[in-house]
Structure 1
Amino acid sequence: MATVAAPQVSSYAHLTSIDKRSNISQRELIAEYIEPGIPVVLTDVAQKWGAMGKFTPEFFRSKYGHLTKEIKGKTYTVAEVLDRIMVSSPENPAPYPCNLNIEKYFPELLEELKPEVVFGKSDRVKHPLLPKLMLRGTEVYELFLGGNGASFPYLHVDALFLHTQITQLYGAKDFILYSPDQTPYMYPKQENRKVSQVDILNPDYEKFPLFRKAKPIRVTVEEGETILFPTKWWHTTQIHEPSVSVGRVHLNNWNWADFTQDNYDLRKKNHPAVALATLAYGKMLGRLMDVQEKLSTPAL
């Protein structure tokens, strides 16, 4: 069975803002945002999470403050990072990004992040036949801690062409996004085509003149809100207050082909046999998932 094609780039031309929706059904989510490849902010899906009101800076300082994280070549405890975050400023920002793999650092907290959003007709990341090898280089669940004045260090498309979900559990965060059809203006790095060379907060238009044509969409994701954006959307973030957020990657039939191809591309130089086997397995598994999703009746 053929995989559903990615949305046409012309479908983004009308977008000037990101919708904020509440009480949206799974059917509406798929038809209005996931299938067309359009970001959306869901205002209420995390309201039933145990994490809401619990995942505060003080919670992580008191319970996990002893854990360590290396940020830009320096090792900090979580308590040290949080102390910096609470007094962070644009002139003296706390170290960022402080991103922690939830499954590695505190797997017991995963129960606090339910019910989960399903970005498609099934949750392919959780499929029992998906090998961990194919998710190497990314993390399914991440905790992000940041403070006023921090920003993600580069404009990028997420690893393995995965879809992205970010929920603000404490504080707000600004997201700056560029639609996939603006890739010609992004000046991707030769060694990593998912990372832009442009510092969008201080762009060098002499070096990157086409970036003048780029049209960003900015949205503030408030505490308790969740942003979903599909693969190939360029994005970065800015923070203006203490922030705790949780990220989650997603796979469905719309990004499966890109995900499988990227797995191949990442291995073909150093491990060609493994790359070919991964590509073949990914195509076979994708066809199986397509059939399973067609035969199943998702809760819409």
Structure 2
Amino acid sequence: MQKKSKFTSIDRRADITYKEFVDQYQKKGLPVILANITDAWADPQIFTPEYLRKNFGDRTGNHPTHKYTVAELLDLTEKATFDNPAPYPVKFMVKSTLPEMVPHMQPLDLNFIRPNWLKSKLLKNKLGNGDMDLHIGGAGNSYEMHKDTYDVHAWLIQLYGEKEVICFPWDEEPLMYPRKGGLLESRSPIVFTNPDYDKYPNFKKATPIKGKLKAGEVLYIPGGMWHTTVAYQQNMSTIINQVNETNYHAWKRDVYVYKAFHNKLKGAIDYAAATVIGNVCRIGQLFGAKY
């Protein structure tokens, strides 16, 4: 387990090599903001509210209580304030709902999100390998405190605007008061912007590690790390998940735990399948397979 962090800000690195990233951050389980890796795309600045409104204004996304079109949500987030925030999160699925965006995101792995065993045909749309969420937010929007399900590494790509990101050291998980039961164990009841210290007094001991994520930058969040975001302006981002040797065992453990909570036999079957798939990916990688 990672030792308690002495840092209060997330590293920001520009012109870092892939090897430096792997050695200094992924292998050590540390978050980092990569300042210019979206330069690998032909036009990373194309993703603006105007671009979305013109090309996808009538496309719909899901909120727990309502469906919104892109145009509706852009209007709401543009006018949002901390006293009157827009609904959040409304999830628009990039690959299935906004597929025209994908050609502008090549290479999709940004030459850094590799190897990624979730690209294997054996894992297509399974076990943490879903679509890419496009989040459109505004002032006052804050994502719930959580760690990513299946302990995937998360790559948060800021497409437009800015937002604050807050991570917590791995050994502070008990201070997050994880919920109980399957997928819920990756969610916290604490509202970061207004924590209830009467209910969750130990959260006062937590050590938030903060950073401001700007348009064109990417935040790497190691699997299993608790985090949240807070927006102060209209912004847009998307997420790519990753599994490889560095988080495979934690991913496999979650495959069992989430399913076994409801059915232990199905949990055992999925765990066995995840073991086989992981070994296939590992062997394939040794023989030159590109993930």
Q: What does residue 153 of structure 2 align with?
A: 163
Aligned partner of 1:96: which letter? Y
Q: Distance in 2 between matches of 1:48 and 1:119?
A: 10
Q: Distance in 1 between matches of 2:156 and 2:93?
A: 14
Q: 8 Å contact 1:160–1:259 — kept in the other structure?
A: yes
Q: 8 Å contact 1:119–1:250 — kept in the other structure?
A: no
Q: 8 Å contact 1:165–1:228 — kept in the other structure?
A: yes
Aligned partner of 1:146: which letter? G
Change (3 A) 1:37 1:239: same
> 5+ unaligned residues in a row in structure 1: which ranges?
1-7
Q: 8 Å contact 2:146–2:188 — kept in the other structure?
A: yes
Q: Distance in 2 between matches of 1:120 and 1:142?
A: 17
Q: Distance in 2 between matches of 1:140 and 1:250?
A: 12
Instruction: Out of 289-298 and 32-41, give the one that drifted further.
Output: 289-298
Q: What does residue 170 of structure 2 align with?
A: 180
Q: 8 Å contact 2:2–2:29 — kept in the other structure?
A: no
The one-character-per-residue Cα deviations of 1:249-283 (angstroms, maximum 9, x if unpaired) are: 11111221222222222223545444322211211
Q: What does residue 65 of structure 2 align with?
A: 73
**Residue 123 of structure 2 corresponds to residue 133 of structure 1:** no
Instruction: Out of 242-251 and 65-74, give the one that drifted further.
Output: 65-74
- Per-residue deviation at 1:190? 1.8
SS in structure 1 at match of 2:85 = coil
Instruction: Out of 239-248 and 261-270, give the one that drifted further.
Output: 261-270
Change (3 A) 1:24 1:140: farther
Q: What does residue 32 of structure 1 align with?
A: 24
Matched length: 288
Q: Distance in 2 between matches of 1:120 and 1:298?
A: 12
| Greater share of helix | 2
Q: What does residue 145 of structure 1 align with?
A: 136
SS in structure 1 at match of 2:157 = strand
TM-score, structure 2 normalization = 0.91
- Per-residue deviation at 1:119? 5.6
Which residue, 18, 29, 39 being the options, matches 1:47?
39
Q: Distance in 1 between matches of 2:240 and 2:13?
A: 19
Aligned partner of 1:18: which letter? I
**Residue 117 of structure 2 corresponds to residue 124 of structure 1:** yes
TM-score, structure 1 normalization = 0.88
